[in-house]
Structure 1
Amino acid sequence: MAVISVGAFCNPQVASAMEISSSYREGTQFMHPILTISMSGEIVQGDATALRAELLKYEDRPLTEISFEFDSPGGSLLEGILIGQVIAAQPEDTTSRVAGGSSPICASACVYAYIGADFRFIEEGAGVGVHQFYTQNELTGGDALAIGQELSSVILTYLVSRGVKAEFLEDIVSARGNSMVWVDHQRLADLGVVSQGVRGQSVEYVNHEGEISLRVEQDALVGQNKILISCGNEGPYGIAFLQEPPMPFAGPFMVHAGGYDHVIHDFTYIRHGSGETVAGFKITPQVAAEIAGASSIGGRVYNMDNSIFYGFAGEVVDPKIRDMVDGCMRKFFRSSPPPPPPAAPPRMTRQNGIDLRGADLLANGIRGISLDECERQCLAASDCTALSYVIDMQWCWPKGYGGTPVETAGVISSVR
């Protein structure tokens, strides 16, 4: 006899409704107005209607973003989907977060409400849990199979409509009995359950003013932003197109790569204050190495005390970014001016058996050249202060400042 264990798709028992509260923050010269809705407790029938009523209180207020905060163990599956559909129907940008206490959770039916938002966040210490859908009434045989298939179809259609991969349903139905499975944060991101503020992004080669460039685009909660990376006579450079806040500021421009902001000294604002900031900037060898090493890039404009910014949400990661920047740096090094006349005294001092760790100017070095050629190219580049050369592999590693000397057989380092 087949028995269905299907998670709380309905709950005939009387339960307390979710606690729903709200707060409204007026817009400022730097920030758009935002409405925050907090929802906690068990999800029961009627909670979607209560949420609609709470939203109607603000129908006459200017709004561009609504943030939903969840801390719930779950409840009625179908009511969770209804709450998610209410959120998805809002014309404003919507965000959802698992927030509330020291270890907030969004489990079972709460997950379906949570994914109704456009942008979904999760912080360290928060938990998202799933389990099989079930009913308080035991079903057997054909009834169990029919209801299970129908619910799976409803859930799958809803998940896909919210940009969540179908594999997430496998996590739900593979849970044993009614035990809760807490899903790893990285898997949540991989399956599209969590977006961390990014709706979509792309990286592709384009023809820009007769040159092959790399276009990096990001559609995020903070706006639609892009960077064009091109290769010039002096190395790589970029043009950033950043969506502006209500009152844009014009402080330092920084490139975000490898999880850090990197100050760009050589930049100019081509356009500013018309809804889109356009900034042209030169990518120095040190920053190029960071970009290529992380295969990522993003751009930001900060205010004068570096306390707030607008631009990319984090960075876009793609191997084409590494290939473009590193290839451009290789081209720059190989096309550098010829060395001084042979009669000139040597300008680099060789250290046998020493490797300078770190401070690489190129993410992958230069293969297949001699030590003399490696030194020549370093001397021709103002940012190159030293190098390490792997003898057997003919592998040249130009360096900036800060390399740590380490005794290593088969390596020669040269310093200016």
Structure 2
Amino acid sequence: MPLVRSCIVATWLLSAAGAASAAEITLDKFDVFDGRTHHMHIEGRIEPGDTARVRALTASLPAGRDEMLVVSLNSPGGSVQEGLDIARTLQAMDLNVIVDVMTRDGDPGICASACSYVFVGGTYRFLSAGSQLGVHQFRFVDDDLVRLSEVTRDVQNRSADITALLSDANVDPGFFSLMGATAPDDMTWVDLTTLERFNVVNRERAYQDNAFTLKGGAIKLVMTHIGLYGINRLTVQCLDSDVIFSSEILLSDPLDLGSGQSDGAEIPQRFDFNVMIDRFNTAPILHETQTYADQAITTVFGLPADQLAAILASDLVDVRLVEKSGAFIGAGFDVSDGKIKDMVESCVDLSRHPASRLEGLQDTQTTLSPVFVAASLGAARRGQPLSEGSDVAVSPEEMAVTLYNDYLAAWSKPNELALPLMNARYGDVLDFYGAEMTKDALMSEKITFAERWPERRYAARPGTFEISCPDASSCLVASIIDWEAHSAARGKSASGVAWYGLGFDMETGLVLFEDGKSQKR
């Protein structure tokens, strides 16, 4: 019987080039996303025994549709078997499991080799800006002698395990072929477009079904999007040679409309209705009507011919209800199967209408990763630490200063990150410079300021902090801060010094008080 030596061992390994330390696995609980969130972070090399640690940390997590485990990954890889077992552990959990690649504090990270299996184990998979996901072939490494027949059997078994994992995660089989195309000592860092095409990155979408139905003698295309924020539908039909769309967006909380249903008159006061084709804004919607019933907003609309033509070559149609704060709900529907193209072409002749997109400007706003929000907030406020060996007490004063500095860092980020983070940091009502203000009104001011000054930097001066925590539930922090603001588009810059104070609810970490005053330099 032939024997194979050197690059074969009983332990399957995948690893990026270079040494890496054993994985650190932590679990934090804190009051964000309605207080039903846990944040698990895996940092470093994945080794045998890590699955048992993950299971031990998560064994007591509450189950249910409203519960959330956000998992951040920053790992060069390690044991294939361990990566597969962790992925299966995540898939088996009876709650929302959301994964992203980043450091524990929300900075860009990597997820390579065996870590990619853990990534696929999440139901909702994001890849934050600057982070990378890398793949290559699995391999054996050691000097032990193993029979070739055993190697062949194990390769077949492991390949079957991987393809089954990808199938259960609704990942395109082509992703496994991509893994096999890269030698074990090399690494392919997969671009986001490819990850989305293979459904490795699916963001808030867990499943989508596009099906033709026949009802009342009319054929309709019903696209059902099941995801993190509920069930959304987009229906397309042909009526008198017009293509009619009907969007049904379910809300997590009912609108306060008294009767529970509405003819839609109140909806535009709270939401703007947006449609995007391959992330490009469409022209104004035609004959838009809206109704609200059973906790869902239904919008019936049409698109001009040039926008219908754009759909024929598109892969994604986004339908959104956008709040005045900039936060939005809705879904991005995958239309790459061509069914919407068939429906449109069967209804109207678009041969004379070239596809167009509003001003050619692509929309860059995407659903912010809940993992990023949790990691960023967790960096400031660890809440109730459940991490192995994490028993270091933090005083309310220390935590308040951390919250304060993290707030300044968040407001110094680019707008696409800063604004959602600001929206997550404020209570519904706060004392704002001596007057009561709602979060919605405050966010409107924040958005206006951020658009005027898209580049900002805020930093507290060391040694200038004043801290008051009259009880364990609230703290006030103030310091002298240096600030800068720039607008390249307007060619303007500003800077200054200010006394700036924030008051925190220490149980939630939310800002309930804000005040400040300019100072002389």
Superposition TM-score tier, normalisation by shorter sequence: 0.5 to 0.7
After superposition, what is the alpha-carbon deviation per residue over 1:94-142, rounded to whole angstroms, capped at 9, x for unaligned? 2211112754111122112111111222234322223322233433443
Q: 1:158 aligns with which of 145, 159, 165?
A: 165
Partner residue, 2:503: none
Is 2:222 the partner of 1:215? Answer: yes
- Quick one: distance in 1 between partners of 2:23 and 2:357? 62
Quote how far apart the aligned CAs of 1:259 are. 0.9
Q: Is the 8 A contact 2:76 2:115 kept in 1?
A: yes
Partner residue, 1:88: 91
Quote how far apart the aligned CAs of 1:290 are. 4.1
Q: Is the 8 A contact 1:75 1:109 kept in 2?
A: yes
Q: What SS does the aligned partner of 1:157 have?
A: helix
Q: Which amino acid aligns with 2:117?
A: Y
Q: Is the 8 A contact 1:5 1:177 kept in 2?
A: no
Q: Is the 8 A contact 1:239 1:281 kept in 2?
A: yes
Change (3 A) 1:61 1:171: closer
Change (3 A) 1:61 1:149: closer
Residue ranges of structure 2 left out of the alignment (5+ in a row): 257-266, 361-521
Quote how far apart the aligned CAs of 1:47 are. 1.9
Partner residue, 2:274: 254
Q: Which amino acid aligns with 2:170?
A: G
Q: 1:182 aligns with which of 171, 179, 189?
A: 189
- Quick one: distance in 1 between partners of 2:210 and 2:333? 15
Quote how far apart the aligned CAs of 1:70 are. 0.5
Q: 2:291 aligns with which of 260, 270, 287?
A: 270
Q: Is the 8 A contact 1:5 1:135 kept in 2?
A: yes
Quote how far apart the aligned CAs of 1:267 are. 2.1
Q: Which amino acid aligns with 1:49?
A: A
Q: Which amino acid aligns with 2:70?
A: S
Q: What SS does the aligned partner of 1:156 have?
A: helix
Q: Is the 8 A contact 1:365 1:398 kept in 2?
A: no
Is 2:123 the partner of 1:118? Answer: yes
- Quick one: distance in 2 between partners of 1:117 and 1:20? 17
Q: Is the 8 A contact 2:314 2:335 kept in 1?
A: no
What pairs up with 1:122-201 in 2 under 5 angstroms?
122-129=127-134, 130-142=136-148, 143-201=150-208
After superposition, what is the alpha-carbon deviation per residue over 1:13-36, rounded to whole angstroms, capped at 9, x for unaligned? 9963423243434445xxx84333
After superposition, what is the alpha-carbon deviation per residue over 1:199-237, rounded to whole angstroms, capped at 9, x for unaligned? 332333322443223223322323222122223347322
Q: Quick one: percent identity of the two aligned structures?
A: 21
Higher RCO (Cα < 8 Å, 6 or more apart) = 2
Q: Is the 8 A contact 1:295 1:322 kept in 2?
A: no
After superposition, what is the alpha-carbon deviation per residue over 1:133-166, rounded to whole angstroms, capped at 9, x for unaligned? 2233433443433443343333333333333344
- Quick one: distance in 2 between partners of 1:171 and 1:282? 40
Quote how far apart the aligned CAs of 1:188 are. 3.3
Q: Is the 8 A contact 2:64 2:95 kept in 1?
A: no
Q: Is the 8 A contact 1:18 1:44 kept in 2?
A: no
Q: 1:240 aligns with which of 227, 247, 270?
A: 247
Q: Which amino acid aligns with 1:239?
A: S
Quote how far apart the aligned CAs of 1:73 are. 0.7
- Quick one: distance in 2 between partners of 1:399 and 1:269? 26
Q: Which amino acid aligns with 2:232?
A: N
Structure ID, larger Rg? 1
Q: Is the 8 A contact 1:35 1:63 kept in 2?
A: no
Quote how far apart the aligned CAs of 1:314 are. 5.7
Q: Is the 8 A contact 2:317 2:332 kept in 1?
A: no
Change (3 A) 1:98 1:265: same
What pairs up with 1:1-400 in 2 under 5 angstroms?
2-3=4-5, 5=7, 9=12, 16-28=22-34, 33-56=36-59, 58-59=61-62, 63-100=66-103, 103-129=108-134, 130-142=136-148, 143-233=150-240, 235-248=242-255, 250=267, 251-262=271-282, 263-264=284-285, 266-272=287-293, 274-285=294-305, 287-292=307-312, 294=314, 296-303=316-323, 305=324, 307-313=326-332, 316-330=335-349, 362=350, 364-365=351-352
Q: Is the 8 A contact 2:7 2:142 kept in 1?
A: no
Change (3 A) 1:282 1:24: same
**Number of equivalent positions:** 335
Quote how far apart the aligned CAs of 1:271 are. 2.8
Residue ranges of structure 1 left out of the alignment (5+ in a row): 331-361, 367-396, 404-416
Q: Is the 8 A contact 1:134 1:178 kept in 2?
A: no
Change (3 A) 1:17 1:168: same
Change (3 A) 1:279 1:204: same
Q: What SS does the aligned partner of 2:276 have?
A: strand
Change (3 A) 1:317 1:248: farther
After superposition, what is the alpha-carbon deviation per residue over 1:226-275, rounded to whole angstroms, capped at 9, x for unaligned? 12222334732222122212245932222222313444363222333x23
- Quick one: distance in 2 between partners of 1:4 and 1:147? 17
After superposition, what is the alpha-carbon deviation per residue over 1:382-409, rounded to whole angstroms, capped at 9, x for unaligned? xxxxxxxxxxxxxxx7999999xxxxxx
Q: What SS does the aligned partner of 1:155 have?
A: helix
Q: Which amino acid aligns with 1:132?
A: F
Q: Which amino acid aligns with 1:227?
A: L
Q: What SS does the aligned partner of 2:165 have?
A: helix
Partner residue, 1:392: none
- Quick one: distance in 2 between partners of 1:193 and 1:6? 29
- Quick one: distance in 2 between partners of 1:254 and 1:221? 20
Partner residue, 2:513: none
Change (3 A) 1:2 1:53: closer
Q: Which amino acid aligns with 1:297?
A: V
Q: Is the 8 A contact 1:3 1:141 kept in 2?
A: no
Which stretch of structure 1 is more off in the superposition, 214-223 or 186-195? 186-195
Partner residue, 1:393: none
- Quick one: distance in 2 between partners of 1:122 and 1:398? 30
